[in-house]
Structure 1
Amino acid sequence: MPSLNELLSSFGGVSFNHGLYRIVGAKDLPAWSDRITRGFPAFAGRITSFGYDWLGRTFAVDTKTTEEGEPGVVMFEPGTGQALQIPANVQTFHEVELQDYEDAALASNFYKAWRGSGGAAPTYDQCIGYNVPLFLGGKDESENLELTDLEVYWHIVGQLIAKARDLPPGTPINIKGE
């Protein structure tokens, strides 16, 4: 598996398995950093995105963690509002996680169900987003999903994640003025 720079230059903008997983285009790296740090400001200046899945979940290397001597991978989930450390670096993420644990890494069975029920395959700049994010009480089911613009989805959900952080359950969230 190539280094992060080789991955981005060789496969940037490429989609796999009808939009299940995509590699970030090198020109889009600044936009991805902005998207993620809107909802996860603690990661500002320390992550580089390299891929994302059909649900808009983004995979990035984090310079504050290491796996086998390389920066570790973090998955940013807009639907749950969580950042989850994956026990992998870029190489082991692609060679082990995506090969041996595809469903855990990419929710591939849920994607098959989505597509099997007539759901569209997202293009490079789209994702299948939650109408009501899970962290706001939405249900993790196909009826709560829709094809949406990736940038718009992350912009809105990023604001909601930032507003909801550390609030007690049931607290109203107002994003006016953002």
Structure 2
Amino acid sequence: MFDNFYGFVGVSNDKDISSIEKFKEDVSGKTFCSGLFRFFKSDETEKWNGIVSDYYSDYLDNIEVICYDWLGRVFALSKFTNTIVFFEPGTGEVYNTDETFEDFFDITIKEYTNDCFASNFFELWYKYADEYQLSANECAGYIVPLFLSGEDTVENLEVCDMEVYWEIMRVAHNND
């Protein structure tokens, strides 16, 4: 299982990954593709389930966060559909991929990397930011969110604490 994923991220895997749970244990807290995306540590998932559900209340107790990308977008497993959904705080949107956990991580992210993680935009930002390496608690967040008519440009991005970014976007979007 997940051989395509490990090949895509350039990591040799000699472990017996025979289940989704073993895969999640193996990738817990790890960063891939120069910071393009990273997986939540297992001890962070409950906290982030709450943060995401505070912003997107329709998903309260209905998701399990899995990973996040450089823009602070969170990818989660829907407990209702058993598919991957992702939450984009800078736009306020939620996207359902209609992909199972295994298909998303073993097939989709390899075939549709730019659609999943905005990899082309990441490369532009990475050069613009002098190859800055985001730490585990950081993301490149919109200075002016897209839902407030912000520009979708590297100049409208800044490095921020991801938890703070999510709270600011939640309040700005929901007017709480």
TM-score over 0.5 for the pair:
yes
Q: TM-score, normalised by structure 2?
A: 0.86
Q: Does 1:140 align with 2:156?
A: no
Counterpart selection for 1:64 from 63, 80, 83: 80
Could you list the runs of 5+ residues in structure 2 that have no partner in the other structure? 3-16
Aligned to 1:21: 37
Q: Does 1:151 align with 2:168?
A: no
Identity of aligned residues (%): 32
The code of the aligned residue for 1:154 comes to W
The code of the aligned residue for 1:113 comes to L
Counterpart selection for 1:36 from 52, 66, 69: 52
Structure 1 moving runs of 4+ over 4 Å? none
The code of the aligned residue for 2:115 comes to A
Q: Does 1:78 align with 2:94?
A: no
Counterpart selection for 2:109 from 91, 98, 111: 98
Paired residues of 1:40 and 1:162 also in contact (CA < 8 A): no
- Between the aligned partners of 2:162 and 2:55, the Cα distance in structure 1 is 14
Q: Does 1:130 align with 2:142?
A: yes
For these two proteins, the number of residue pairs brought into alignment is 159
The code of the aligned residue for 2:133 comes to A
Aligned to 1:161: 173
- Between the aligned partners of 1:7 and 1:120, the Cα distance in structure 2 is 28
Higher strand share: 1
Deviation by residue 1:126-178 (Cα, 9 ceiling, x = unmatched): 10000011011111000100011111111111222322xxxxxxxxxxx5xxx
Paired residues of 1:36 and 1:158 also in contact (CA < 8 A): no
Q: CA RMSD in A?
A: 1.3
Higher helix share: 2
Q: TM-score, normalised by structure 1?
A: 0.85
The 3 A distance-change label for structure 1 pair 6 and 159 is farther
- Between the aligned partners of 2:20 and 2:56, the Cα distance in structure 1 is 22
- Between the aligned partners of 1:4 and 1:135, the Cα distance in structure 2 is 35
Stretch of structure 1 that moved more, 21-30 or 2-11: 2-11
Cα distance, 1:116 vs structure 2: 1.6
Q: Does 1:50 align with 2:61?
A: no
Paired residues of 1:8 and 1:24 also in contact (CA < 8 A): no
- Between the aligned partners of 2:79 and 2:87, the Cα distance in structure 1 is 15
